[in-house]
Every structure is written in C-alpha cells, then in structure tokens.
Amino acid sequence: MSRAGAIIIGNEVLSGKVEEENARFLIRELREMGVKLERIVFLRDEVEEIASEVRRMSAAYDHVFTSGGVGSTHDDVTFLGVARAFGRELRLDPSLESMLAERFGEKMNDVVRRMASVPEGSKLLYARPDRFPVLQVENVFVLPGVPLFFRAKFDEVLRDRLRGPAFVLRQVFISVQEDEIALHLEAVQRAHPDLELGSYPRFDDADHRVRLTVEGRDRDRVETAFAELLEGLSPGWVVRTE
C-alpha cells in the first residue's frame, strides 16, 4: 500500500484569507486511488520550514504532494524550499523558459522567468507541451495552490501514474451508542489488525446513532471481518448496511 503526505503552503491559507480546498481534495481522491494519506501539514511561505518538512516527509512516505508557492511573486518560495530539502540549487530550465516566453510573449520578463528556475535534477511531468508541468523531485510532486489548477494537474498528470488497488469499504448503521459496541469492535479489530475499523457517532436527528466501518484492500478479508462485526450486534440495533 502506497503511503503519502501532503504539505499545504501559503500565508494566505493560515491567515484565513483563502479557504483551503486542496487538502480535502487529496483526502478524497487518494483514498479512491488506493493511496493512504497519513499526514497533512500547513506551512507559511518560509523556505527553511518548507525544506525541513519536505525532507522529513520524503524520507517517511512513498509520495509527497506540495500545494502552493509556485508563482512568480516574492512569497512563492516552494521551489527553493524543495531544492534545499535535497541539497540542490535552482537552475533555469531552457524548455520551461521557452514555454513561458511563448505563452507570455511581449510580457515575458525576469519576474515571469523565475518560474523556470527549478531544483536541479527535477523531472518535468507534462500533460500537454503547452501547459506548465508538474515538477517531481525525488518522490515529491510540486503542485500549484489555486484549486482549479491543482485539480487539473492532479487529474491530468498524477492520477493514472499513482493509482493502485482501491480500498473496499463496508458500513453498518446502528441505533445504539458507542458504549454498547466498543468492546466487540475492539475484539474484531484485534482479530484483523491489517484492516481499519472505525466508529462514528451522530448527535443529530439522523436515523442512526453510530456508523461502523470496515476498510481494507482485500475484499475477502473485509467481508470476513464485516460478518464477524455483524454477528456481535443485536439484530434490533441494525438500521441498515452498505
């Protein structure tokens, strides 16, 4: 099972000026792709903080995704942070410079050219030659912060590249509180340590009090554990299963 971490970068996110959407997108999409997202960190536009966290996550996870800080203004420092994480320098990439010059035409200047200065040794992953690529440095994928562009790059460049066997999820909705089923749930989890069992209470006017889940990559094992979970529940407690 692939394991991943995400680094959301931007003063505007932590100050509340911009509502962050990319972490929520990754949580949902990586799960459907069979990639286990285990850590999300929010950072300011600080080079050394970015470098430290990229270095830490790169060593701990199979894939790391960064969001934000890839434009041409003074606070776009993600490329530099990623470069320092691996002890590299920024280098002007001729192909990127050419693409930017063609796109910006007469508006091309040194500020725009900054976006072509990338960590040395970066892989440029293109969906189309006329679009800015996703940078890959070791196991780190550098993505834009604007949600529209973040999602487009993820869908066009990374989705098929990283997809693995999907997770299997079974759910039972019950009419009693967690204290009634906690010991039984714990026993099923001990019997199936490779699976993830969850308990999610409700405190509103829903038709159930608790949703219990069994999740894993092996359908047969998920079904076996789910059957054991149901066996320990009084039939009158079960509202429905999915």
pLDDT single digits (tens) 59-105: 999 999 999 999 989 999 999 999 999 999 999 999 999 999 998 99
Q: What is the mean pLDDT of the chain?
A: 95
Predicted pLDDT of residue 128: 84
Place of tokens 């990586």: 30
The superfamily CATH assigns to domain 168-241 is: EIF_2_alpha (3.30.70.1130)
CATH 3.40.980.10 range(s) for the chain read 2-162
Q: What are phi and psi of 41, to 5 degrees?
A: -125, 140
Residue 202 three-state SS: coil
CATH 3.30.70.1130 range(s) for the chain read 168-241
Q: How far apart are CA 146 and CA 167, in angstroms?
A: 28
What's this model's pTM, rounded to 2 decimal places? 0.85
Predicted pLDDT of residue 9: 98
Residues sharing a CB contact under 8 Å with residue 162, sequence separation 6 or more, in sequence order: 2, 33, 35, 63
Residue range 106-122: average pLDDT?
Answer: 94
Which tokens belong to 208?
Answer: 């159930």
Q: pLDDT, tens digit, for every residue of 144-172? A: 999 999 999 999 999 999 988 888 999 99
Residue range 139-146: average pLDDT?
Answer: 97
Residue range 45-59: average pLDDT?
Answer: 98
Q: Is the pLDDT of residue 1 over 90?
A: no
Classify residue 107 as exposed, middle or buried by CB count within 10 Å of its CB (0-12, 13-18, 19+). exposed
Q: How far apart are CA 86 and CA 219, in angstroms?
A: 39
Q: What is the CATH number of domain 2-162?
A: 3.40.980.10
